[in-house]
Structure 1
Amino acid sequence: MTDHSPALLPTLKNYFGFDSFRGQQGSIIESLLKGEDCLVIMPTGGGKSICYQLPALLMEQTTLVISPLIALMKDQVDGLRANGIAAAFFNSSQSQAEQRLLLENAGTPELKLLYVAPESLSALSTVLDETHISCIAIDEAHCISSWGHDFRPSYQQLGFLKKSLPGIPIIALTATADKATRQDIVEQLNIPGAAQFLSSFDRKNIALEVRPGHNRISQIIQFIEQRPGQSGIMYCLSRKSTEKLAEKLQQRGISAQAYHAGLDFVQRTKIQENFIRDKTQVICATIAFGMGIDKSNVRWVVHYNMPKNIEGYYQEIGRSGRDGLEAHALLFHSYSDIIQLRKFTEGATNKELQLAKLERMKQFAEATDCRRKILLGYFGELLSDNCGNCDVCKNPPEIIDGTVMAQKILSAIARVKESEAMGTVIDVLRGAQNAAVLDKNYQNLKTYGIGKDISWHDWQHYVVQLINQGYCEIAFHQHNALKLTDFSKKVLFENWTVQFTHPSFVKEKMEVAQEKKTKRPKKDTLFDRLRVLRSQIANEENIPAYLVFSDATLREIEQQRPMSESEFLTINGVGKRKLEVYGDLFIAEVSHYIAEKIKRPKKNDTLKITLEMYKEGLALEEIAEKRGLKPTTIFFHIAKLYGDGEEVDIYKFITKQEVESVRKAKVILEGPEALKPYFDHFEEQMGYDKIRMALSVLERE
């Protein structure tokens, strides 16, 4: 077997722009390259995709990626192509000729990754073998399990893959899966021996906040107005509420659109594209929106209604702050939300499971403990200290020492052999004499009646907090039985201190806490200029702006101010291809900004330097060499100078025939703003620089 280790980091930098792996990425990739099956649980924005995309570049054949949504596939493929990686998707929207070509390319260097929905797998039967496929990646793997929050029957057919292709490694990935769901995934996929990689669920950059659902509209408008220009998603339970909310926001001058399944495919696609390309600031949507979309600059997520479970809530808030910069998750909840969500479970085959998970979501919304502790505890991760970045931490309740009460609760759970739900455990503690206790002889346990002095509701308050803090957990697939965790022993046998909030503490939010007024962003910062440049490039290439560079990359450029290609390549998110395609333009923008801010004479303006050298009679290549820039950058300068009315003999750089070809294409294509339609029209035989220059000639006419 080939040792790919020496190629891992160079490949990571060349194609993805990073110098090192994050968390367990390196271990996962090495495991997959050894031919081992893997189950990867990694939070949104944690870098799951690289875990199979990078190995795909080193494997001989094509990596097959199974993904649930067409929009998700397109987004992933666009991102890969922007990085210079051969990728495509296969679905029913394509012609037979397009599908045939994809199948012909399977297993060749012309196609390293092929995305497909589970419903379309049957159409790939001719290439589902080891001569065409090196690896199978199953994204959003929680869809396989009926214990999960987004079960899809079409995913259950995927178990045949391992049986028919035993020699091909399978990697299943998801951002949200509790223990029951993880076990179900490996069983359904027939990969019981898969190496399991469980990353930290802690997204420190996302501030968590919960508010009562009073006057939601006015609260939301205030929230958005305090965040001018920031992209955000509003999640609602019903189609009607998405439309009503979008209309209210529009009336306040906020760029908002509704998104739901009642819209036709063309409408939904356009709305989604407008959001991805920063043309729409806010999307008011049902929970299907945003699944798998890699838009990295979503700065906030608001839940207009309470979600039906913690897995869904966690996945949805994870669609914000994917770039690692500050983000905000605001949840509204009310009793009417609970009633509506309970109605949704009527007739469901797993009604008991859904109701139990809804109850945990309700407990989260009403909690008086650090909310991040609750989230992490739900997924089996202990946060030792409060996070300091949630509303409870910022407005803490009265704290009491709950160690003894915690020991009593955990002892009771152990005495009933971890087989009973919360109600029965509390009955044992209080010495109840009902059938649930007496029929199982629980009255003979040592813990029976040791908590008579505390009311039933107070015990419930303490048990919920113990669950929220990760010291015990609910086994939803075992009739909601309370289970001990690895942390339980710390309390029972190592005298770990446990803190509870006092039951009498009721956190009232009669009015929205006045947030600090958002400081007006400084005008004309380097970040602003870089965003404008990024937007121009994205429009020309007809791709979302974040596929050029993420906000995090622009922030790093702003901080580091690279002035050479070698410096630019050190920026996270800058790979070999993006350096070649965009490097000169961004370096020039940094140079312009620095030159202006240190008040250099105008003659040092980069365009004017190029103009002076041109007037001296230097050839384009000579100007590029003397200035340490690429010829394509000087080509851009010449086109810009000509378009600005400078005396430039433009036909030294482009022929009249080429100008006429672009003129005809402009008519045929109906004058698109982007350059990519022209590039495609000429079947990639005329470069972007020539197209840009020809358009400058036509505009000046």
Structure 2
Amino acid sequence: MSADPISVLRATFGFSGFRGVQEQVVERVLSGRNTLAVMPTGAGKSLTYQLPAVAMPGTCLVISPLIALMHDQLRAAEAVGIRAATLTSVDDNREETVARYRRGELDLLYVAPERASSEGFRNLLRAAPLSLFAIDEAHCVSEWGHDFRPDYRLLRPMLDMFPDVPRLALTATADAHTRADILEQLGIPQDGLIVAGFDRPNIRYHIAPRDSVTRQVEAVLAEQPGPGIVYAPTRAGVERLAEKLGAKGRPVLPYHAGLDPEVRRRNQAAFVASEEMVVVATVAFGMGIDKPDVRFVVHAGLPKSIEGYYQETGRAGRDGDPAVAHLFWGADDFARARSRIGEVEAHRQQGERTRLDALAGLVETAGCRRAVLLRHFGEDPPETCGNCDNCLSPPKVADATQVARKLLSAVYRTGQSYGIGHIEKVLTGANDDRVTERRHDQLSVYGIVGGEEAALIRPVSRALQARGSLIATEHGGLKLAGDAREILKGEARIEIVVPPKRERRRRDGASAANPVGNPLFEALRAKRREIAQETGLPPYVIFHDSVLRDMAAARPASRAELAQISGIGERKLDAYGEEFLAVIREVA
């Protein structure tokens, strides 16, 4: 017999009601039906299996791809009184965990897909009642997904061994094709699909061409307080950028697979516990972290796909407070990405090209960024969102068809082996030794671009490379590809966005939801920081900023009044209530 879900929601999690589709998903799980829930990051996916795990008899088995993520979720579950454990290769209490499972003393057991699909582990599962299978990051099961993990394909036999145990698959990033594949691979009926929508309205999207990436990222950090993640495309880039950003005084740490494992562990732990640190990392960082108070995410290079971009930017603002996502891209990013497509299996190449074209559409659009993102995932959003760079400051759009034709013609007539620097000199009629030595000053395209058109050569080159009309040769030159011939014939029109001049904004906390200069709020944060240091827990596991804001606004005078604040369940009320009430009495 299951406990009443609203009672569990209030007592365990401290919430008076569900958000979005949470209730719909929980109802299906409690009634024993198989479900795929596609919910945006920050929509409370973990609650849809944690609540049933408390409400239903037996153990909920959670299959998760990353050990760090499991341990992060374990801390959060234990903090609200859920009996939880992980069974991973780095745990030194595996025997104790197995014994607890056999005795029926676990609500939640987290394992990796590699362990879940092994025969020995399947035999262990028979030793105690199971309440639910929760498959997190379920897009990993699909070859169509952007983060395919072969071990997820081996889960079906285990699931089918327990036909009476409901299965709940969860993901934040799955287009229609990937969703259909997940349903088939995990044996979930079509009517078990629940799509909550992909919009993250609290994230403000900014995308701009890369010029001096260090300066551009420094400007973001100067404007944005709070924790943040900066993604660099290579390990060497991570090291360089972390060193340069750290020299400005903000705490900055690097993270990538080439670092010593202990250094990685320390850097990740420091970031999780910090309220202001910046991590410069390769894109794998963040998958294992459920840190809700990340205030900004910066891409210092092009992500691999729109799905990847959505997932990586989605690591900001999981607490629902305002957050920003900046992307700085260059034409060379697209050149490298197109060359990499040739290295994947032949049957996946067209899908990869389609993904890259979609990414080009996102970075080159003069319209709403959010609308492009949401349409990619099959939604029908409004034309404007009011919370991206193009909506807030609509860019100028220039008809660059003639410049594009001249540029493509120059690339062709110079032999399709020179970079944009040389092509620009030819088109503008520069007096240059290399140009004259190769007799390119004798070509019909020499000196045919001048005045305002000259300023468009590089933006047009970037746009043509993004859409695949120009691609890089193995020696770094440019050659015609894609629809270049149609453009040359005048059969295709090229419009480009003229980037607006960047206006430096003061770092005044205007983009944050927290009350600036409120002495009670700051005192509550200080108390949270003190408890975090004493307990070894990240501050957000104790209470989110939103809970502290509500405390500062309501100024509860008693335990009963404090219990009415959303996000304070019975376990946290017992553990921390008196200490925070004392701060309120003292400061108020």
TM-score band (shorter)? 0.7 to 0.9
**Residue of structure 1 in register with 2:81 after alignment:** 84
Calculate the aligned-residue CA RMSD, in Å: 2.4
Alpha carbons of structure 1 residues 510 and 22: separation in structure 2 relative to 1, 3 Å: closer
1:385, CA displacement in angstroms?
4.6
Q: Matched residues in 2 for 1:333 and 1:570: separation?
A: 47
Q: Matched residues in 2 for 1:72 and 1:125: separation?
A: 23
Higher Cα Rg: structure 1 or 2? 1
Corresponding residue to 1:534 among 528, 535, 541: 528
Within the alignment, does 1:562 sit opposite 2:556 as a pair?
Answer: yes
- CA contact 1:162–1:191 (8 Å) conserved in 2: no
**Residue of structure 2 in register with 1:101 after alignment:** 96
Corresponding residue to 1:72 among 63, 69, 73: 69
- CA contact 1:149–1:312 (8 Å) conserved in 2: yes
1:522, CA displacement in angstroms?
4.5
Q: Matched residues in 2 for 1:527 and 1:338: separation?
A: 46
- CA contact 2:2–2:56 (8 Å) conserved in 1: no
Residues 491-570 of structure 1 correspond to what in structure 2 (within 5 A)? 506-509=496-499, 511-518=501-508, 522-523=516-517, 525-570=519-564
**Residue of structure 1 in register with 2:584 after alignment:** 590
Residues 208-219 of structure 1 correspond to what in structure 2 (within 5 A)? 208-219=205-216
Secondary structure of the residue that 2:497 maps to in structure 1? coil
- CA contact 1:36–1:194 (8 Å) conserved in 2: no
- CA contact 2:224–2:507 (8 Å) conserved in 1: no
Question: Following superposition, which runs of at least 4 residues in structure 1 exceed 4 angstroms of deviation?
Answer: 502-505, 519-524
1:503, CA displacement in angstroms?
6.7
- CA contact 1:130–1:167 (8 Å) conserved in 2: no
1:112, CA displacement in angstroms?
0.6
1:280, CA displacement in angstroms?
6.4
Q: Matched residues in 1 for 2:542 and 2:493: separation?
A: 52
Residues 15-414 of structure 1 correspond to what in structure 2 (within 5 A)? 15-95=12-92, 98-106=93-101, 108-121=103-116, 122=118, 123-129=120-126, 131-193=128-190, 195-228=192-225, 230-278=226-274, 281-349=277-345, 350-397=348-395
Corresponding residue to 2:572 among 574, 578, 593: 578
Secondary structure of the residue that 2:155 maps to in structure 1? helix
Q: Matched residues in 1 for 2:19 and 2:106: separation?
A: 26
**Residue of structure 2 in register with 1:602 after alignment:** none
1:31, CA displacement in angstroms?
0.6
Task: Between the two structures, name the one with larger relative contact order (CA 8 Å, sep ≥ 6).
Answer: 2
- CA contact 1:73–1:89 (8 Å) conserved in 2: yes
1:523, CA displacement in angstroms?
4.2
**Residue of structure 2 in register with 1:430 after alignment:** none
The residue type equivalent to 2:532 in the other structure is A
The residue type equivalent to 1:575 in the other structure is G
The residue type equivalent to 2:79 in the other structure is A
Alpha carbons of structure 1 residues 16 and 372: separation in structure 2 relative to 1, 3 Å: same
Q: Matched residues in 1 for 2:379 and 2:276: separation?
A: 37
Secondary structure of the residue that 2:147 maps to in structure 1? coil
1:378, CA displacement in angstroms?
1.1
TM-score normalised by the chain length of structure 1: 0.67
1:236, CA displacement in angstroms?
1.5
String of CA shifts for 1:256-282, please: whole Å, max 9, x gaps: 111111123222111110000007610
1:129, CA displacement in angstroms?
3.1
1:346, CA displacement in angstroms?
2.9
Q: Matched residues in 2 for 1:289 and 1:397: separation?
A: 33
**Residue of structure 1 in register with 2:420 after alignment:** none
**Residue of structure 1 in register with 2:451 after alignment:** none
Secondary structure of the residue that 1:92 maps to in structure 2? coil
Q: Matched residues in 2 for 1:246 and 1:227: separation?
A: 17
Secondary structure of the residue that 1:347 maps to in structure 2? coil
String of CA shifts for 1:352-390, please: whole Å, max 9, x gaps: 211210110111011111111111111111122511010
1:292, CA displacement in angstroms?
4.5
Q: Matched residues in 2 for 1:92 and 1:41: separation?
A: 29
The residue type equivalent to 2:115 in the other structure is S
Q: Matched residues in 2 for 1:178 and 1:524: separation?
A: 43
1:514, CA displacement in angstroms?
2.6
Q: Matched residues in 1 for 2:288 and 2:380: separation?
A: 27
**Residue of structure 1 in register with 2:471 after alignment:** none
The residue type equivalent to 2:352 in the other structure is Q
Q: Matched residues in 1 for 2:143 and 2:177: separation?
A: 10
Q: Matched residues in 2 for 1:344 and 1:278: separation?
A: 37
Secondary structure of the residue that 2:253 maps to in structure 1? strand
Of all paired residues, the percent bearing the same amino acid is: 42
- CA contact 2:395–2:498 (8 Å) conserved in 1: no
- CA contact 1:68–1:117 (8 Å) conserved in 2: yes
The residue type equivalent to 2:88 in the other structure is N
Secondary structure of the residue that 1:161 maps to in structure 2? helix
TM-score normalised by the chain length of structure 2: 0.80
Secondary structure of the residue that 1:106 maps to in structure 2? helix
Give unmatched runs, 5+ long, in structure 2.
398-462, 468-491
Q: Matched residues in 1 for 2:191 and 2:96: separation?
A: 34
1:161, CA displacement in angstroms?
2.2
String of CA shifts for 1:565-621, please: whole Å, max 9, x gaps: 122112111111111111111111112111xxxxxxxxxxxxxxxxxxxxxxxxxxx
- CA contact 2:101–2:128 (8 Å) conserved in 1: no
Give unmatched runs, 5+ long, in structure 1.
400-460, 466-501, 595-701
**Residue of structure 1 in register with 2:447 after alignment:** none
Q: Matched residues in 1 for 2:34 and 2:313: separation?
A: 29
May I ask how many residue pairs the two structures share in their alignment?
Answer: 491
Q: Matched residues in 1 for 2:395 and 2:210: separation?
A: 21
The residue type equivalent to 1:396 in the other structure is P
